[in-house]
Structure 1
Amino acid sequence: MIRAFTATAAALLASLASAPADASESPPRTGFEETNGARWTGESEEQEFLARVDRASARVSVARIGTTKQGRPLQLARIGSHLAPNRVLLVCSQHGDEPSGREACLTTIRDLAYATDRQTRRFLDRTTVFVVPTANPDGRAADTRGNSDGVDVNRDHLALQTAEARAMATVLRDQHPDVVYDLHEYTPTPKYYDKDLFDLWPRNLNTDETVHDEAETLSQEYVRPAAGRAGYTTGTYGIWTDPVTGDPIKQTAGDGQERILRNMSGVKHAVGLLIESRVDPLTDVDEAANNRRRVDSQLAALDGLFDFTDEHRAQVETATGTARHAGYADSGPIYLGGADNDPPEPSEVIQDPPCGYRLTDDQYTEVKDELALHGVRSWGGYVPLRQPLRALVPLLLDARAPYHLTSGEPVTDC
């Protein structure tokens, strides 16, 4: 397993081959670890933790990528020996009242930084791991789902109206991650919807087929088996199942909306996966024990992610690279609705897309920053489809798209 670096305290305390700046300083522990799960890591504890890891390991750099409305930093940790072509992004606790992913991400940053085993060091020679440890700091401080304005950040990855979503878009644009792994939690409905972990890949139909298939492989052949080996039950997010037969009963979440990160990841040609750990315990245990289960199940699933990344790097790089170049061909339909398990209505398919969209001066002024943050190329008020993010252009600018930013004029004379 790639995460063998967490096996013993001795491994964490050993000197690195690329020695830390202060070799006498022991690896830091989170507030969650210090209290054995009795409470979550505090804001100031997180900042000190990240600063110590950054100082101690040449493998790690921590940078500020934005600032929330209340002035808290949005940070990105980079772990790796160099900027390898294979890149993985962990986005942790977009919803502020879902803290287990954040705890798993913080300890993962540290464990990768301090690992001395050959397998992990070789992994980091070939893979750069990016981590946004707290994607919604204001919500985490308030223990709320939304940010300080009450906005659900995970419904803002198209419009980019929040500082949090704008920071995520910047990372996707500048770092081009091959895999985007989004850590969440959910409240169970006993008997019908109560696995330890649920996950879901991009359902948006604009996801390249090969990228979509790699995301399903990540889920079904790596993340779920890894969690199962650790004793955790798994299933598909958003699908209630019959407790006797295991057959699906109804879908309650998990559609193809492009404004959700796992779907936007697919539209932007990354292998996306949403992971959801169960908040409530199945048995009568104390709060600290249940909190440890929540975090440990996330860490078990991360084992599968890192194994997938190591074993499928060639397939993933081929899939994402090919998808990014396919837009230049400017061919094929674009989907405004539907999902991989929900065929679109005819009105939700642009069978013969235009060459591009023309915006008025006012329209362009209104949306140019968002276009730039997404990485959509434009020439003044003209936005062509012939570019890597071909499918994203109509989602942003076509009047028929459910979450469009403005209604551009389709240009059909190519």
Structure 2
Amino acid sequence: MRAWTARTVLAMALVAGVALAPAPPGGGRGGRVPTGFERRGGTTWTTLSQERDLLRDLVSASPGPERAGWGAARVTVSRVGTSARGRALELITVAGTSTVPEPVRVLFVCGQHGDEPAGREACLKLVRDLAADRSPAGRRLLERVTVLVLATPNPDGLVAGTRTTAEGVDLNRGHVAVSSPEARAIRRVLREARPHIVHDLHEFDVPTGTYPTPTLYLWPRNLNVAPELRSLAVELARDRIGTALPAAGWAAGVYGEGTAGRQLGGDADERLLRNAAGLNHAVAVLVEIARRPISALERADPGLLGRRRVAAHLVAARATLRMAAERGDTIVAAVHASRERAVHGGGPVYFDGADNVPVGRTAVAPMPCAYRLTPAGYADAWAALTAHGIRVEPDLRVETAQPAGAMAALLLDPRARFAVAEATPLPCAGGSPATGDES
């Protein structure tokens, strides 16, 4: 791990374009209203009430539809669910006046784990800065990109300072069964907003030296994700985020690849958001920032530690927005192609393996044309099928020729690791349409 001096920390702040110094109590840079985190110099996190106040101010200052073409960003907030403890789960939208046939919709999911708050702070700052940006570059960005933000997807965990929800659910292991209200809210956004890019923000807290770098990134490794979407996700993670973070002063590496060649995580588990979002036809990326101090300066100054964690997440988020603006046509076309291919069905389905696992060790089978549920199986699977938008025929048959066909197989096939109900695979008339072989 490199040694961090005061000069290095200052240089990182300048490159990142993020203030690492505490915000003045009367307002932020350029008249921007500071978050609670900024008001206290990064020593404590923005509270839920402060978040509500900030969003209320941004919405009230936002131009109405009749003035949306004046160059200012329009901010809206909509309720998409309720946590187990009754707290609101809200989706923030920042948009401008589109100049392209289909703006790229970028969804930031900013804090699935309640004890990883830096991503949430970065998202609140990002929303505030986008709303206040009147520059030509800011206007051009929002002409091409619509920004969707789930700033606090686990409010109960945030308040309690716990990784899990109030029900003890690890939200980032809940995107198949979708059994918690928080997971259902995220799934609702994926299903209804159909983001082209999903950027998942996390922090890691492992012994020093386990990971060689303080910032990490990863793409969907699940083999059921369309190859063109995975390729774009690799470009976003490795070439964009993995370049922007070192340029700002932080070494970056691939999540799951530890020291001495150890594989620490980052598999193809379809319950993880980066894989589930890829199966939902999105370019998905995970960003993890080291939560522990990475210098003597940070050990001595909790505010500096907090500000570094937030600043690194902001650098990664802005790299995602830059790629969305620059590669929008390619991203939108790849998402549409993936959905269209799924609607026509066919192809193989993978029940394990990953893009970094030898093919010979992967269980792959022809995709059944449908699955037959029993009434009891339908009762078990109904909530998950509904959350994923999977159509069920009146005779309790689930065809795989639909946008969420791969997820249907992972929910219902007896060979799937996280199946939610018993169902019988039905072959296609005249034989299997798939080209994959059992191996």
In the superposition, the TM-score normalised over structure 2's length comes to: 0.85
Structure 2 partner of 1:37: 42
CA distance in structure 2 between the partners assigned to 1:347 and 1:116 by the alignment: 51
| Cα-to-partner distance string for 1:274-332 (whole Å, 9 max, x where unaligned) | 00000111211211111111111111112211111111111111111100111133221
Quote how far apart the aligned CAs of 1:406 are: 0.5
What amino acid is the match of 2:112? Q
Quote how far apart the aligned CAs of 1:93 are: 0.8
Q: Does 1:51 align with 2:56?
A: yes
Structure 1 partner of 2:267: 255
Higher alpha-carbon deviation: 373-382 or 31-40: 373-382
Structure 1 partner of 2:373: 359
CA distance in structure 1 between the partners assigned to 2:231 and 2:209 by the alignment: 29
Structure 2 partner of 1:101: 119
| Cα-to-partner distance string for 1:123-173 (whole Å, 9 max, x where unaligned) | 112211100001110000000000001110000000001111100100000
Q: Does 1:207 align with 2:212?
A: no
Q: Is there any run of 5+ residues in structure 1 with no aligned partner, and where?
A: 15-25, 243-248
* 1:347/1:399 CA distance change after superposition, 3 Å: farther
CA distance in structure 2 between the partners assigned to 1:82 and 1:388 by the alignment: 29
Higher alpha-carbon deviation: 289-298 or 369-378: 369-378
- Are the equivalent residues in 1 in contact too, given 2:76–2:94 (CA < 8 A)? yes
Higher alpha-carbon deviation: 357-366 or 30-39: 357-366
Structure 2 partner of 1:378: 392
Q: Does 1:307 align with 2:325?
A: no
Structure 2 partner of 1:182: 200
> Which residues in structure 2 correspond to 1:274-289 (within 5 Å)?
274-285=286-297, 286-289=301-304
Quote how far apart the aligned CAs of 1:411 are: 1.5
- Are the equivalent residues in 2 in contact too, given 1:5–1:111 (CA < 8 A)? no
CA distance in structure 1 between the partners assigned to 2:143 and 2:362 by the alignment: 48
In the superposition, the TM-score normalised over structure 1's length comes to: 0.90
What amino acid is the match of 1:327? A
Aligned counterpart for 1:267 among listed residues 279, 284, 291:
279
What amino acid is the match of 1:177? P
> Which residues in structure 2 correspond to 1:309-328 (within 5 Å)?
309-328=324-343
| Cα-to-partner distance string for 1:184-208 (whole Å, 9 max, x where unaligned) | 0001432341422101000000011
- Are the equivalent residues in 1 in contact too, given 2:212–2:259 (CA < 8 A)? no
* 1:346/1:224 CA distance change after superposition, 3 Å: closer
**Runs of 4+ residues deviating >4 angstroms:** 3-9, 11-14, 344-347
Quote how far apart the aligned CAs of 1:219 are: 1.1
SS at match of 1:39: coil
SS at match of 1:282: coil
Quote how far apart the aligned CAs of 1:115 are: 0.7
- Are the equivalent residues in 2 in contact too, given 1:6–1:111 (CA < 8 A)? no
Higher alpha-carbon deviation: 31-40 or 188-197: 188-197
SS at match of 1:391: helix
Aligned counterpart for 1:343 among listed residues 358, 371, 387:
358
SS at match of 1:239: coil
CA distance in structure 2 between the partners assigned to 1:166 and 1:74 by the alignment: 10
Aligned counterpart for 1:167 among listed residues 185, 200, 218:
185
> Which residues in structure 2 correspond to 1:4-15 (within 5 Å)?
none
Q: CA RMSD in A?
A: 2.2
How many residues were matched structurally? Answer: 393
- Are the equivalent residues in 1 in contact too, given 2:103–2:328 (CA < 8 A)? no
- Are the equivalent residues in 2 in contact too, given 1:394–1:401 (CA < 8 A)? yes
Q: Does 1:407 align with 2:422?
A: yes
* 1:82/1:115 CA distance change after superposition, 3 Å: same
SS at match of 2:262: strand
Quote how far apart the aligned CAs of 1:372 are: 2.0
CA distance in structure 2 between the partners assigned to 1:318 and 1:212 by the alignment: 14
CA distance in structure 1 between the partners assigned to 2:134 and 2:269 by the alignment: 42
- Are the equivalent residues in 2 in contact too, given 1:13–1:114 (CA < 8 A)? no
CA distance in structure 1 between the partners assigned to 2:76 and 2:390 by the alignment: 28
CA distance in structure 1 between the partners assigned to 2:166 and 2:33 by the alignment: 29
| Cα-to-partner distance string for 1:72-125 (whole Å, 9 max, x where unaligned) | 111100110257531100000100000000000001111111110111112112
Quote how far apart the aligned CAs of 1:44 are: 1.0
CA distance in structure 2 between the partners assigned to 1:379 and 1:178 by the alignment: 28
Quote how far apart the aligned CAs of 1:6 are: 7.1
What amino acid is the match of 1:357? Y
CA distance in structure 1 between the partners assigned to 2:265 and 2:17 by the alignment: 35
Quote how far apart the aligned CAs of 1:391 are: 1.1
Q: Does 1:334 align with 2:349?
A: yes
Aligned counterpart for 1:158 among listed residues 164, 176, 199:
176
Quote how far apart the aligned CAs of 1:369 are: 3.0
* 1:12/1:143 CA distance change after superposition, 3 Å: closer
Structure 2 partner of 1:218: 236
- Identical residues among aligned pairs (%): 39
CA distance in structure 2 between the partners assigned to 1:387 and 1:201 by the alignment: 24
SS at match of 1:79: strand
CA distance in structure 1 between the partners assigned to 2:423 and 2:106 by the alignment: 34
